[in-house]
Structure 1
Amino acid sequence: MRKKYTDEFKAQIVLEIFKEEKSVTQLASEHGIHPTQLTRWKNEAIQNLPSLFTDDRKGVQALKKTYESKIDELYAEVGRLTTQNTWLKKKSGLRVDEK
């Protein structure tokens, strides 16, 4: 059975590695984790560090615009279908309830 570690735990261990107060081997034996795994976590943290400082608001704004345009299209489609439905009911002789 594989052990699963939380992101907080991994971050804590990587911070301890960066402090360099103890070696990776010492930390591995203290926490019962293989040193290779700790090295992988450290490398992953180093690789993903630049993404912490990127401005992600542009991506969120683009998603918001896409979402809003899709909503507008759907409302327009509902309006067209409602109009067509009412017209078809009138032409077929079915009773249309006026509100």
Structure 2
Amino acid sequence: MSKRPRRNHSPAFKAKVALAAVKGEKTLAELAQQFDVHPNQITTWKTQLLEGAAGVFGSEAKSDPATPAVDVKTLHAKIGELTLSNDFLSGALSKAGLLSAKR
């Protein structure tokens, strides 16, 4: 018994299956057999469709809590600070003879 290769479905196919599930005319088992997809996958796509449906009618900007706002000036200042400390330490170590100049 060989495993079925992993399939990648197009967004149009996912939408078609999820809309059929939302309509409720057929059971999940019937839809799974019709579209040759696992019932759990249909449920997942249906949930994603229902959660993202509000975005179709409005351009509400979602603020993702996992992605904080980035302050570029602060990051550049930190990079400069770290570069200076690395240069200072490498110079001090090479003068002390602990760091080879071949680097």
**TM-score for both structures, normalised by structure 2:** 0.50
In the alignment, the residues of structure 1 paired with residue 59 and residue 13 of structure 2 have an alpha-carbon distance, to the nearest angstrom, of 26
Q: What is the CA distance between 1:55 and its match in structure 2?
A: 2.8
- For the aligned residue pairs, the C-alpha RMSD in angstroms reads 1.3
State the match for 1:82 in structure 2.
Answer: none
Within a 5 Å distance, the mapping from 1:1-99 to structure 2 comes to: 1-55=5-59
Identity of aligned residues (%): 30
In the alignment, the residues of structure 2 paired with residue 38 and residue 55 of structure 1 have an alpha-carbon distance, to the nearest angstrom, of 26
Does 1 or 2 have the higher relative contact order (CA < 8 Å, sep 6+)?
2
Q: Which has the higher helix share?
A: 1
Equivalenced residue count is 56
In the alignment, the residues of structure 1 paired with residue 45 and residue 11 of structure 2 have an alpha-carbon distance, to the nearest angstrom, of 10
Q: What is the CA distance between 1:31 and its match in structure 2?
A: 1.5
**Where in structure 1 do 4 or more consecutive aligned residues deviate above 3 Å?**
none
Q: What is the CA distance between 1:16 and its match in structure 2?
A: 0.9
- Provide, for residues 10-56 of structure 1, a one-character-per-residue CA deviation record: whole Å limited to 9, x for no partner: 11111111111101111001221100000000000011111112237
**TM-score for both structures, normalised by structure 1:** 0.52
State which structure, 1 or 2, has the greater radius of gyration over its C-alpha atoms.
Answer: 1
* Unpaired segments ≥5 residues, structure 2: 61-103
